[in-house]
Structure formats: structure tokens, C-alpha cells
Amino acid sequence: MNMIMMLWMPVLAAAGSVFFLSFLFWMVLPHHRQDIKALPDEKPIVDAVKSIAVPPGLYMWPNCEDPADYRSEAFIARYREGPWGTITIRPSKPNFRNNLLITFVVYLAVAIFCGVLLHWGLGDGVTFMDVFVPATIMSFLAYGLGPICGATFLGKPVRFMVTDFADGVLMAATNGVVFAALWPAVG
């Protein structure tokens, strides 16, 4: 049977395992409960956002529409004075079914990427570790390191980045174990 056709099982199992692990991290285990905080009084902020009809998007402040304004005294004063922040305005209430589907598609894309690269890079008669190590490293790049770039720029708290990183390490290891356990012709 064609090797690519034989990869469907490790790809789907890896994506499904990581998806389930992610569910456990966010819904069952307590380590993310302090990552996203509630505002002490959200009503004034919600009222302000409504009153100026902020369209959906990701916003950062202080900020300028025109990059030339970054050198203006007014912007520099706002920047020095603070506060600094980011806010995401959604176009509608969150649709968790769609969000979960998109999340699974991302995990599936990582698993497909790993499967294809493993197929191209591994020969016959591979061992568990021959599959586990590269699958884990590739997955770690996506799950462990990938989120840090945006998180640091957008100012997510260090605690949030640490818990995300720890999740990424475990998700990558899970991907590696599943691929190694289900890889065709592991000797």
C-alpha cells in the first residue's frame, strides 16, 4: 500500500490526541485559570467601545493611523504616560463550535506537515525514536515556539506564555509519541 495512504491513521490520531489534550489543558486542568483575567469593572469599557462603534479587529494603544505620527510630541507623551494595551473586538459572540473546528484543522495541518516530512525524511526499518524525535521537534516548533512570537509582541503576561509553552511541549511530545507508535513499519 502507498505510504502516503498509510499515514492517515497517525495523522488523524495525532491531531485528535493533541485536540483532546488541549481540551484537558483549558477545560479541566487548573493551570490556565489565572491566564485571562476579568476586568474589575467591565461596564465602562464595554460602554465606551459601544459608544464609539469600534469595528471588529485587534487594537493596540497608544497607536497612530499614520506612521509619521509616531515621532510627534503628542504620541511620544501618550506613549510615555501610558496605559498601554491591546483589545480584540469580535464581529459577533464567539461560536465555540466553529472555533473548535478551526482549532482541530490547525492541529490536523501540523500533523499532516509532520507526516509528509517524516515520510520524505525516513527510510525503511525505522525505530520508535527515529520517528519520535523529528515528529516532536517539528510539533514543538508549531505548538511551543510559534505562539511566543505574537504573545511577546502583544504583551501577553509572562505567566500566560509559560503555561502556553508548557502546553506546547506536552502537545509536541504527544504528537511525537502517536506518530512513533502508529508509524508504518516501525521496527
Q: What pLDDT, in 10s, does the model give residues 132-155?
A: 999 999 999 999 998 898 888 888
Task: Determine which helix (DSSP H) or strand (DSSP E) holds 180, and give its type and residue range.
Answer: helix 158-182
Residue entry with cell 459572540: 93
Q: At what angle do helices 96-121 and 158-182 cross, to 10 degrees?
A: 50
The C-alpha cell of 52 is what?
464609539
Q: What pLDDT, in 10s, does the model give residues 31-76?
A: 888 888 888 999 998 899 899 988 999 999 999 989 999 999 999 9
Q: Name, of 7-11, 89-93, 105-109, 121-125, the range with top average pLDDT.
A: 105-109
Res 3: pLDDT:
61
Res 37: pLDDT:
85
Is the pLDDT reported for residue 168 higher than 90? yes
Least confident piece of the model among 103-107, 150-154, 170-174, 175-179: 150-154
Cα–Cα distance measured from residue 60 to residue 41, given in angstroms and rounded to the nearest whole number: 20
Q: Which residues pair with 86 in a beta bridge?
A: 60
Is the pLDDT reported for residue 124 higher than 90? no
Q: Whole-model pTM?
A: 0.82
Cα–Cα distance measured from residue 88 to residue 61, given in angstroms and rounded to the nearest whole number: 12
Res 4: pLDDT:
64
Res 2: pLDDT:
66
Q: Which residue blocks in 65-157 are alpha helix, DSSP H?
A: 73-81, 96-121, 128-140, 146-154
Residue 27, class by beta-carbon neighbours within 10 Å (0-12 exposed, 13-18 middle, 19+ buried)?
Answer: exposed
Res 186: pLDDT:
60
Cα–Cα distance measured from residue 159 to residue 35, given in angstroms and rounded to the nearest whole number: 7
Nearest residue to 107 via CA among 146, 134, 76, 79:
146
Residue 43, class by beta-carbon neighbours within 10 Å (0-12 exposed, 13-18 middle, 19+ buried)?
Answer: exposed
